[in-house]
Amino acid sequence: MNIFDNPFFVLGATTRDNRRKIIELADEKNLSSDSDRCLQARNDLTNPRKRLAAEISWFPGVSPKRIEGIITYLTALRDHELVEEMDIWQFEGIARLTIAINQLRYKEHADIFEAGYDILHLNSFFEEINTERMLSLLNEERLVSGFPMIDSPSLIADELRNVRSEINEIINQKLQLLSQEEYMHLATMIAKECYESEESVYEDGVVVEDFLNSYQLNIKDTLDTGMQQIVTSRENIIENVTNDDLDIQINELINLVSQWDMLAQPLQLIARYKGTKHIDSENLAYIIRDLAIDLNNTHYKTDQSIKLISTLQDVFAELPEFAERIEEDNESLQRIKLGQIEQEKENQEMIRHNSENKLSVLMGIFVMLFVAVLCFTGPLSSLFGNSNSVTTTKPTNNTSTKNSSKTGTQTKQQRLNTMKNEIDAKLVIMKIMENDLDDLTSDLDHYERLYYSTGSEMYIDRYNRAYEDYQSLYNQYDKTIVDYNRLVEEYNKGI
């Protein structure tokens, strides 16, 4: 009940005025005020059941002089006049609650935090109301005024439910003036003050509960829309995982998740406080976790996966069980990343080492092939001729026969030398292949260890590719051995 609509205010009556006094005040006010309003106020105060609603929304136990100061203060607030804020802590019980309700109704708050603390104080004042004590106080006043006693605390409890509804209505009217962002920050602030810490000076109560229930209803459509946007973004990332703008898409998804979480945070705090789960938050958290795991295990996007997992650690800290699981995920991903870094170092070192070995071997092969050519073709001078030679008559037949025999001997030796060089070259090539096979064997062992330590499917794929390379190279090695044995056999027969 608005304080300025209370029958005690309308007639200027006190809770100790008797029936005759109330009728006199109504007659006096009737001359200068709205007669219907005065008549209604008189009827409410002289009817024991209706009187209770007015008593609950007034200042029982407070002297008329102090009530006058309260009315002056609330009138100034209503008329938007500058006034020093009243210390309502000097009052107690229903009087303090009534002041707080009307102060919230008329006060122009500097910011949402001031409004938030007024709501929290109002919640505390309401929770402090003791129906038994209030029954005693009101019956003391009725004993003086001559009205029938209130026979049950349940009647007071019924009226307090009406007061609770009035508080909720006032708060909702205040909320109409806020943007969605301000509304979110207000709800988060109130939820944190009540539910985040066991040492908080503010406790859970029906006023806070009603406020946050309204928040949940008012924000539901926005959360549902945000959830759909996140699911769509996730699907786009999976479909375009190889695109160059993957990091941009990941950042956009993270922004959507962060915005959604900010709206849901008050609800998450309530759920944690009550030992339950905020199902929508948990579902969303696992959607993003599944995406992170898929990016790492299927597409080898470990950096992006770590980024998503880190985001989940930040924004879903209010989900205890999920927070523990995501911590384990982060540790596993960090191990995978460290393994990738170490593997990259090993790969680079292996490439450098192999390049140096192969260059040396190729130089050796080139030298041996060059020697083989010399052995087959003879001295360089025979290739280009001797500029100082003199033309002579051909030798006799006997001489020709000797030269021919010598030439045949040289040709056979040259062929043997060439075969010998080819055999040596095969040996060198076989040595290179053996080194490469050893390197691939080391790779297979390395990938196997990484898989068992991290569980990442990425290392199974790398193991399989390395095994295929090993098999192909081994087949070439086996063929080279056959060629080598054939050459050795031919060489031995030539000797």
Q: pLDDT digit string (tens) for 21-66?
A: 999 999 988 877 788 899 999 999 999 999 999 999 999 999 999 9
Same domain (yes/no): 324, 295: yes
Percent of the chain residues past pLDDT 70, beyond the cut:
82
Q: Is the pLDDT of residue 318 over 80?
A: no
Is residue 199 domain-resident?
no
- Angle value at C-alpha 434, between 432 and 436, nearest 5 degrees: 70
Question: Which of 367, 250, 253, 243 lies closest to 305, judged by CA?
Answer: 250
Contact (Cβ atoms closer than 8 angstroms) between residue 284 and residue 259: no
Is residue 186 domain-resident?
no
Dist. CA 25–CA 12, nearest whole Å: 7
Question: Looking at 78-87, 186-195, 197-206, which range is the least confident one?
Answer: 197-206
Is residue 190 domain-resident?
no
User: Greater confidence, 31 or 18?
Assistant: 18
Contact (Cβ atoms closer than 8 angstroms) between residue 464 and residue 431: no
In this prediction, residues 162-181 reach a mean pLDDT of 94
CA 454 vs. chain centroid, Å, equals 23
Contact (Cβ atoms closer than 8 angstroms) between residue 8 and residue 58: yes
Same domain (yes/no): 414, 309: no
pLDDT for the residue numbered 180: 92
Question: pLDDT for 261-307, tens place per residue?
Answer: 999 999 988 988 888 888 898 889 888 888 988 888 888 888 888 88
Which of 150, 177, 204 terminates a domain? The answer is 177
pLDDT for the residue numbered 392: 33
Sign of CA dihedral 191, 197, 203, 206: positive
> At 120, which amino acid appears?
L
When computed from its CA atoms, the radius of gyration of the chain, rounded to whole angstroms, is 48
As a whole number of angstroms, the longest Cα–Cα distance in the chain is 171
Average pLDDT of every residue of the chain: 83
Residue 343 burial (CB count, 10 A): 16
pLDDT for the residue numbered 374: 52
* Domain limits for position 430: 340-380+403-494
pLDDT for the residue numbered 389: 36
Same domain (yes/no): 305, 369: no
Is residue 208 domain-resident?
no
Number of structural domains (the chain) is 3
Which of 335, 368, 390 terminates a domain? The answer is 335
Question: pLDDT for 401-449, tens place per residue?
Answer: 444 444 445 577 777 888 888 888 888 888 888 888 988 888 888 778 7
Q: Which residues contact 418 (CB under 8 A, 6 or more apart)?
A: 372, 375, 376
Dist. CA 103–CA 105, nearest whole Å: 5
Residue 237 burial (CB count, 10 A): 22
User: Which pLDDT band holds residue 379 (cuts at 50, 70, 90)?
Assistant: very low
Same domain (yes/no): 123, 39: yes
pLDDT for the residue numbered 388: 38
Same domain (yes/no): 297, 357: no
pLDDT for the residue numbered 349: 66
Same domain (yes/no): 449, 354: yes
Is residue 48 domain-resident?
yes
Same domain (yes/no): 344, 331: no
Is residue 295 domain-resident?
yes
Q: What is the 3-state secondary structure (H, E, C) of the chain?
A: CCHHHCHHHHHCCCCCCCHHHHHHHHHHHHHHCCHHHHHHHHHHHHCHHHHHHHHHCCCCCCCHHHHHHHHHHHHHHHCCCCCCCCCHHHCCHHHHHHHHHHHHHHCCCCCHHHHHHHHHHHHHHHHHCCHHHHHHHHHHHHHHHCCCCCCCHHHHHHHHHHHHHHHHHHHHHHHCCCCHHHHHHHHHHHHHHHHHCCCCCCCCCHHHHHHHHHHHHHHHHHHHHHHHHHHHHHHHHHHCCCCCCHHHHHHHHHHHHHHHHHHHHHHHHHHHHHCCCCHHHHHHHHHHHHHHHHHHHCCCCHHHHHHHHHHHHHHCCCCHHHHHHHHHHHHHHHHHHHHHHHHHHHHHHHHHHHHHHHHHHHHHHHHHHHHHHHHHHCCHHHHHCCCCCCCCCCCCHHHHHHHHHHHHHHHHHHHHHHHHHHHHHHHHHHHHHHHHHHHHHHHHHHHHHHHHHHCCHHHHHHHHHHHHHHHHHHHHHHHHHHHHHHHHHHHHHHC
Q: Is the pLDDT of residue 368 over 90?
A: no
Same domain (yes/no): 73, 168: yes
The b/e string for 294-317 (b: 16+ C-beta within 10 A; e otherwise) is bbbbebbbbebbbbbbebbeebbe
pLDDT for the residue numbered 18: 95
Same domain (yes/no): 331, 361: no
Question: Which of 128, 68, 73, 63 lies closest to 96, judged by CA?
Answer: 128
Question: pLDDT for 479-488, tens place per residue?
Answer: 989 888 988 8
The b/e string for 177-197 (b: 16+ C-beta within 10 A; e otherwise) is eeeeeebbbbbbbbbbbbbee
Contact (Cβ atoms closer than 8 angstroms) between residue 182 and residue 115: no
Question: Looking at 223-227, 243-247, 412-416, which range is the least confident one?
Answer: 412-416
User: Which pLDDT band holds residue 393 (cuts at 50, 70, 90)?
Assistant: very low
Same domain (yes/no): 169, 50: yes
Is residue 265 domain-resident?
yes
Phi, psi dihedrals of residue 244, rounded to the nearest 5°: -70, -25
Q: Which residues contact 81 (CB under 8 A, 6 or more apart)?
A: none
Same domain (yes/no): 270, 358: no
pLDDT for the residue numbered 65: 94
Is residue 462 domain-resident?
yes
Same domain (yes/no): 121, 259: no
